[in-house]
Amino acid sequence: MLLGVSLISAVMAISGYKYFEEPREILIRETIPARYANYNNNADRSITANLQRSNISSSSPTNFITAAEAVTPGVVNIRSSSSSEFDIWGGYGASSGSGVIVSADGFIVTNNHVVEDSKKIEVTLSDHRKFEATVIGTDENTDLALIKIKSTELLPFLAFGDSDSIRVGEWVLAVGNPFNLESTVTAGIVSAKGRSIDILEGEYKIESFIQTDAAVNPGNSGGALVNTRGELVGINTAIITQSGRYEGYSFAIPANLAAKIISDLRDFGTVQRGILGVGIDEVTDEKAKELGLENIEGVLISRITPGSGADDAGLRRNDVIISVNSASTRAIPELQEQVALYRPGNTVEVEYIRKGKKATTSVLLKNKSNTTSLSGQREDEAILKDIGFELRNLSDSEKRKSDISGGVLVVSVYRGSKIETTNMDPDFIITKINDIKVATVDEVIRELKRTSGKVMLEGVYENYPGEYYYAFFMDPN
């Protein structure tokens, strides 16, 4: 009798829990691989040659078998270990994902989260050959990474398609190489474009995902999404699920954006990010009525950075950007994606609406320091990154507003850095280092290079009275 009552109570408790429990939404970073272009001994083996765009607007359903057979040799399994104490897979910090070969000489694109903080990376090809890989560069703002393996033979690689040309409803294939399953191929359609799911972090994060219903499961992160001709149109990165398993929502980084990012990583070791120099917001129904817009779309400019390309080009607050180089920017993710295709020093045509009228202007993109110079793995940048902040020179108008003759603006502060421990906030204006005046980023770097031990930064905030001081210690030179 007692046993029966206990069983009934247990069943009722579980049923009640299931009834009242709220459904959970889980974001899992996952992805899928793609197909490769056939090669021969006379083929150009460079990434640059491989990043050619298809001149066909979209692909119609064809024989999936042909595309799948062409794709799978260019998809690899990646196993990474972040443990320095174990030299075997499966120890602390081990992870597994997929990757896509993008050149015959062994460059492979994958997700940053697959190889992040890794001490060892092992790549297994579709023919079971294993290679140790080195990291060429990573970009947490797009969750992409470029790694490389050395092979005595030319490798099968994937041909890039034009991700801008794919259409909602178009058939796509997802190909992965998860551990223990070897190559897997699934099919689905493009469900949406320009999706943002708030999975990435950072001030300059870019989320303009291609959403598909092609099945993606754990182990496929860093693989590829391809059209029915087998051309790479995306690097699959995440799924949305309430159960922890695939439920029909997969997200891929557009191939056009991936191509630009990996070219930067290969050539410079870091991403060359061109910036318009604007603060942006979505266009709401209320704002559209206020500005006299015919449609509730476009990207609203809420702020202009003094001295930026947007400022120089005459863009103003409350302008609504509707295209960049003729590519529609109906929402923030689309604008971020289009601008991210270009480097500092490039000029883009921006179409916008002001007071109900359309206009076009040419904007010279700049970097985060408000210059057009390209960055690289220079000693100067390494110093600033090691300390933990990004800097730029003040514009003339900012100097007048702050009532100072010179100084350097702190653009952002890195998490876990020396600067973060001082509790410094972005928008701090550095005027002195160890009581020596500094007016440019170069002068800040010069003083930091010649300093070891305690460093005292003196400066001001534009909207707060008085001077502020922040101290930290430099490692000996």
pLDDT at position 59, please?
57
Judge whether 221 counts as a catalytic residue. yes
pLDDT at position 239, please?
78
pLDDT at position 247, please?
66
Q: What is the DSSP string of 53-94?
A: PPSSS------HHHHHHHHGGGEEEEEEE--SS--STTSTTE
Q: Token digits for 76?
A: 């690899």
Residue written as token pair 């973060």:
420
Higher pLDDT, 388 or 12: 388
Residues in the chain: 477
- Full-prediction pTM beyond 0.75? no
199 and 264 part of one domain = yes
Q: How large is the average pLDDT for residues 280-307?
A: 91
Is residue 56's pLDDT more than 60?
no
Judge whether 113 counts as a catalytic residue. yes
Identify the CA nearest to 234 among candidates 191, 174, 188: 174
Q: Token digits for 358?
A: 């359309």
Residue spans of beta strands (DSSP E) within 228-276? 232-241, 250-254
pLDDT at position 23, please?
35
Is residue 32's pLDDT more than 60?
no
Radius of gyration of the chain (CA): 25
127 and 246 part of one domain = yes
- Give the confidence band of 61 by pLDDT, cuts at 50, 70, 90: low
Q: What is the DSSP string of 107-162?
A: EEEEEHHHHTT-SEEEEE-TTS-EEE-EEEEEETTTTEEEEE---SS---BPPB--
pLDDT at position 81, please?
84
In angstroms, rounded to a whole number, what is the distance separating the alpha carbons of residues 366 and 308?
7
With respect to residue 13, please indicate whether it lies within any of the assigned structural domains: no
With respect to residue 248, please indicate whether it lies within any of the assigned structural domains: yes
The single-letter DSSP state of residue 476 is P
Query: Which residue in the list 221, 308, 323, 369 is annotated as catalytic?
Result: 221
Higher pLDDT, 210 or 196: 210
Residue 271: phi, psi to the nearest 5?
A: -85, 130
Query: Which residue in the list 143, 264, 311, 319 is annotated as catalytic?
Result: 143
What residues make up the domain containing 289? Answer: 278-364
pLDDT at position 313, please?
95
In angstroms, rounded to a whole number, what is the distance separating the alpha carbons of residues 431 and 305?
20
Judge whether 143 counts as a catalytic residue. yes
In angstroms, rounded to a whole number, what is the distance separating the alpha carbons of residues 370 and 373?
9
Reported as a single tens digit per residue, the pLDDT across 417-429 is 999 999 999 999 9
Q: How large is the average pLDDT for residues 6-21?
A: 44
304 and 264 part of one domain = no
Query: Which residue in the list 80, 113, 311, 369 is annotated as catalytic?
Result: 113
The single-letter DSSP state of residue 164 is G
Looking up residue 157, the CATH number of its domain turns out to be: 2.40.10.120
Looking up residue 412, the CATH number of its domain turns out to be: 2.30.42.10
Residue where a domain terminates, one of 319, 335, 364: 364
The packing angle between helices 441-449 and 379-387, to 10°, is 80
252 and 313 part of one domain = no
345 and 387 part of one domain = no
pLDDT at position 73, please?
94
With respect to residue 340, please indicate whether it lies within any of the assigned structural domains: yes
244 and 96 part of one domain = yes
The single-letter DSSP state of residue 336 is H
Q: Token digits for 134?
A: 């080195």
> Residue 150: CA atoms inside 13 Å, Cβ hemisphere, count?
2
253 and 182 part of one domain = yes
Paired strand residues for 417: none
- How many distinct structural domains can be found in the chain? 3
336 and 414 part of one domain = no
460 and 393 part of one domain = yes
With respect to residue 177, please indicate whether it lies within any of the assigned structural domains: yes
> Residue 463: CA atoms inside 13 Å, Cβ hemisphere, count?
3
> Residue 332: CA atoms inside 13 Å, Cβ hemisphere, count?
17
> Is residue 332 helix, strand or coil?
helix
182 and 41 part of one domain = yes
Q: Token digits for 38?
A: 């056939």
Q: What is the DSSP string of 264-296?
A: HHHHHSS----B--EEEEE--HHHHHHHT-SSS
In angstroms, rounded to a whole number, what is the distance separating the alpha carbons of residues 137 and 148?
10
Residues near 37 by Cβ (< 8 Å), separated by ≥ 6?
50, 156, 157, 158, 159
Residue where a domain terminates, one of 330, 364, 398: 364
Residue where a domain terminates, one of 364, 390, 415: 364
Q: Which helix (H) or strand (E) holds 445?
A: helix 441-449
The single-letter DSSP state of residue 6 is H
